[in-house]
Chains A and B, each alone.
Chain A
Amino acid sequence: MKVLMLGWELPPHNSGGLGVACYQLCKELAKNNEIDIDFILPYVAGHTADFMNISAAHPEDVVEVIPPTNAYDSYSYRKTDGTIETISIYDQQSLYESNVGRIAKKSNFDVIHAHDWLTFRAGIRAKQVSGKPLILHVHSVERDRAGGNDGNPIVREIEGLSMLLADKVIAVSNHTKKAIINDYNIPADKIDVVHNSMDIQSVEPLSGDTAYTYIDEMKKQGYRVVVNIGRITIQKGLTNLLYAAKAVIDNNPKTIFLLVGSGDQERELIELAAQLGISRNVIFTGFQRGKRWRDAYAIGDIFVMPSVSEPFGLTPLEAAGYGTPSLISKQSGVSEVLQNCLKVDYWDVDEMANQITAVVQNDALRDELHANVYQEYQRLSWSEAANKLMGTYANHVGKVAI
């Protein structure tokens, strides 16, 4: 069975979790000998994978994709000659759509599988020219990215219309399935939930001394560390985390909050921390990758993901792998699958403060949480997701598309 897989990014040129999820999912699917994947990206970046064919629908020599910090910003592409080309997200999308249409005309495949709104129009085009069934994989909806607001009407229109025209919709969580039903009136039985997972074999291990020398020294003095890693945008609920931090620090002055990431809310939060009088305990590192990113997970006593709306949310799983238990918002997909963690409504600042306080005051609670979540972590794999998708493919291949 041949799958025309449409994706916007793959690691290492990824701006977020979407690329990683696509890559690991395809890797797992390809373990099945019957599956052949043609993965179409909007750019050429010399990706190699021995389990699928990767090609580009946008013939540009790109060495680096410079991610936007905000959902609608233009992507920039650093090209081989060193110049940077910036193409608006809409132009990029329609360029991708016409190129995918051209590819779909001259190649053979059995099913089209498209990931997130940026590839949905291309998916519909491919379905038009080929008559093959279209499966849309929703990793997030516009309302998530807009922090609970309506968001961009053009994006909403693409999402709504595409899901109506698709043969099947895959949501990464029940949380996302509900959002799709609420926002776009898509019938519930048209939507299957396939939870994300992670490939723990591909996790880079910790190495050497921590990059956070100062925090490490403070920990020797009895300080406890609360970590968040992610984009600093309204979707991530960090305003509430800072209000909770104020209450935690008032009672436990030896608490440090480490916020790793960048985004359009960064300055606002720096000022908010100052207004709350907790700047001395709140450290903003900006965007980090590699060792500094891994060490941030590891230095924490607790990882907090307070997202207003998180379709899935991989970070608590990553935290578990690096030795840190989590407090996560109930408005997240990962809270449907992860058992051994603390959970809170993103808006419940008092309870958030209460639970963080419990962990920073009680190492036994921290250690017990981690010991148990680590058991869950070690069982993580994409095989269940891949099996479900195989079933979905089988249900549609060879049948008349809607």
Chain B
Amino acid sequence: MSKSIVLYLHVHQPYRIRHYTIFDAGNNHNYFDTHYDDRTNNERIIHKVAEKSYIPTNRVLKKLLDTHPEFKLSLSITGTLLEQLERWSPATLASFQDLVSTGRVEIVGETYHHSLAFFYSQQEFEAQVRMHREKIEDLFLQTPTAFRNTELAYNNDLAVWADRAGYKTILAEGWDPILGWRSPNYVYTPAHTEQIRLLMKNYKLSDDIAFRFGDKNWSEWPLTADTFAHWLGASPDATNFNLFMDYETFGEHQWGETGIFDFLEHLPGKWLQGNDHTFMTVTEAAQSNQPVGEINVEHTTTWADTERDLSAWLGNPMQQQAIHGLYELQSKVIGTSDLRLIEDWRKLQTSDHFYYMCTKWFNDGDIHAYFSPYASPYDAFMNFMNAYHDIRYRLATHGVIL
């Protein structure tokens, strides 16, 4: 039986909210644009990440696709990022299209706005999934057959939804309390579903690359492609190694200086030296291997923090106030048919806004601070709430009773 690496990379950037005050609310509706040098300037961040991560990584991936006919991977790219690339870095978008045009890159479906809408509004969630599918069809001529929810947030209900929506594959965190004695390196069936299959992230192997790779205090540092391929090859109980991570691992979370690009470039060659070693996309892996069991997830899991729950986004009262306030306006916002208002409201749903408000400073706090363009979670909260007030102002000018 063959063993495959299932490499899946998530590519995303939010529209960060600028320093937006109560004095802006009602006077301008420009939440996401500020001068180029500001920490929250989205264009500047796109340029920076394109230069440090997207362009060099896609160059390596293209080379791997050209060199190794067996090499395959899966990507999920959010609508909010695709829009920004179209606007500010078309060359980067073209480089993603080049990868997909090889026919060996699968695009995974998700919400267009990288939102947590599944937990607040089925109708809004489905609208955003549809928007994303159409954007992918438009830009990549591909219709997603696999689904991942924002932050890999997963539970039985989500699997049932994806199954009914016709997806063949769904992705989740391979969290120990869920798997118990079982291994993430097999295909599973989600509870209560008919057709769909489940791939679970091998977080230990994934995090060796995504988090520990550049850590000089790690006992395995420096990790080479040779060593990593050897670990996988020596693992007896496996059909598929699900290496799921943020795409920005390459060049952004792990800087080029750590050797991460060399690692990526050499891993496929080293891996493919083994007998029956190959690569598969997520749907291919899910369909080629028989499920070995059923997975039951009653409480939502995610791929973040030591808790693997939604607490990084919804754990404190500020986050809950912000997100409840936003979804409370749904029917009123949709009811205006004001497309710019609806779109701004959707951009505010991006999960990153709530992540920036996280106050779990200890253990996980350092990673939160690294990703935030704000001086504090309180600043993030106030900017968001002022934008929220402006959404309400715009509703009022539409004659909506608040």
Q: Determine whether A277 belongs to the interface, using a CB cutoff of 8 Å to chain B.
A: yes
Cβ B397 vs Cβ A217 within 8 A: yes
CB distance from A323 to the nearest CB of B (A): 20
- Chain B residue numbers with a CB within 8 Å of A273 are 321
Cβ B322 vs Cβ A279 within 8 A: yes
Cβ A275 vs Cβ B376 within 8 A: no
Cβ A214 vs Cβ B25 within 8 A: yes
Given contacts A214-B25, A217-B26, A270-B381, contact A279 B402 (CB under 8 A): no
- B382, closest chain A residue (CB): A284
Interface residues on B, range: 20 to 34
Given contacts A274-B321, A280-B325, A285-B22, contact A217 B382 (CB under 8 A): no
Q: Whole-angstrom distance between the alpha carbons of A267 and B318 in the complex? A: 11
Cβ A221 vs Cβ B318 within 8 A: no
Cβ A213 vs Cβ B321 within 8 A: no
**Interface-facing stretch out of B88-96, B99-107, B288-296, B385-393:** B385-393
Cβ A212 vs Cβ B385 within 8 A: no
CB distance from A316 to the nearest CB of B (A): 23
Q: Whole-angstrom distance between the alpha carbons of A216 and B321 in the complex? A: 23
Cβ A214 vs Cβ B393 within 8 A: yes
Cβ A274 vs Cβ B320 within 8 A: yes
Q: Whole-angstrom distance between the alpha carbons of A283 and B392 in the complex? A: 14
- Chain B residue numbers with a CB within 8 Å of A280 are 321, 325, 385, 388
Q: Determine whether B317 belongs to the interface, using a CB cutoff of 8 Å to chain A.
A: yes
Q: Determine whether B181 belongs to the interface, using a CB cutoff of 8 Å to chain A.
A: no
Give which listed residue, B22, B25, B321, B401, contacts A279 with CB less than 8 A.
Answer: B321
Cβ B22 vs Cβ A283 within 8 A: yes
Q: Determine whether A402 belongs to the interface, using a CB cutoff of 8 Å to chain B.
A: no
Q: Determine whether A211 belongs to the interface, using a CB cutoff of 8 Å to chain B.
A: yes
Q: Determine whether A350 belongs to the interface, using a CB cutoff of 8 Å to chain B.
A: no
Q: Whole-angstrom distance between the alpha carbons of A210 and B26 in the complex? A: 11
Q: Whole-angstrom distance between the alpha carbons of A216 and B27 in the complex? A: 12
Give which listed residue, B26, B320, B322, B402, contacts A213 with CB less than 8 A.
Answer: B26
Cβ A211 vs Cβ B382 within 8 A: no
- A260, closest chain B residue (CB): B22
Report which residue of A274, A283, A286 has the largest number of chain B beta carbons within 10 angstroms of its beta carbon: A274
- Chain B residue numbers with a CB within 8 Å of A211 are 23
Give which listed residue, A266, A274, A283, A284, contacts B317 with CB less than 8 A.
Answer: A274
Q: Determine whether A292 belongs to the interface, using a CB cutoff of 8 Å to chain B.
A: yes
Cβ A212 vs Cβ B23 within 8 A: yes
Q: Whole-angstrom distance between the alpha carbons of A214 and B397 in the complex? A: 10
Cβ B26 vs Cβ A270 within 8 A: no
Cβ A221 vs Cβ B325 within 8 A: no
- Chain A residue numbers with a CB within 8 Å of B382 are 270, 284
Q: Determine whether A384 belongs to the interface, using a CB cutoff of 8 Å to chain B.
A: no
Q: Determine whether B316 belongs to the interface, using a CB cutoff of 8 Å to chain A.
A: yes
- B23, closest chain A residue (CB): A211
Interface residues of B in 5-35 (CB under 8 A from A): 21-23, 25-27
- B359, closest chain A residue (CB): A271
- Chain B residue numbers with a CB within 8 Å of A220 are 396
Q: Whole-angstrom distance between the alpha carbons of A271 and B316 in the complex? A: 9
- B401, closest chain A residue (CB): A221
Q: Whole-angstrom distance between the alpha carbons of A257 and B381 in the complex? A: 17
Give which listed residue, B318, B376, B390, contacts A214 with CB less than 8 A.
Answer: B390
CB distance from B309 to the nearest CB of A (A): 19
CB distance from A247 to the nearest CB of B (A): 18
Give which listed residue, B25, B317, B378, B402, contacts A277 with CB less than 8 A.
Answer: B317
A18-51 interface bits toward B, Cβ cutoff 8 Å, 1 = contact, 0 = none = 0000000000000000000000000000000000
Cβ B21 vs Cβ A218 within 8 A: no
Interface residues of A in 191-212 (CB under 8 A from B): 211-212
CB distance from A82 to the nearest CB of B (A): 21
Report which residue of A217, A220, A271, A277 has the largest number of chain B beta carbons within 10 angstroms of its beta carbon: A217
Q: Whole-angstrom distance between the alpha carbons of A28 and B393 in the complex? A: 46
- B318, closest chain A residue (CB): A274
Cβ B21 vs Cβ A270 within 8 A: no
Q: Whole-angstrom distance between the alpha carbons of A285 and B24 in the complex? A: 11
List 10 A–B pairs whose Cβ atoms lie within 8 Å, in order of A's numbering. Answer: A213-B23, A214-B22, A217-B393, A220-B396, A221-B402, A266-B378, A274-B321, A274-B381, A284-B382, A285-B22
5 additional A-B residue pairs with CB within 8 Å, beyond A217-B397, A271-B318, A274-B320: A216-B26, A218-B402, A266-B378, A279-B381, A280-B385
Chain A residues in the interface with B (C-beta under 8 A): 211-218, 220-221, 266-267, 270-271, 273-275, 277, 279-280, 283-286, 292
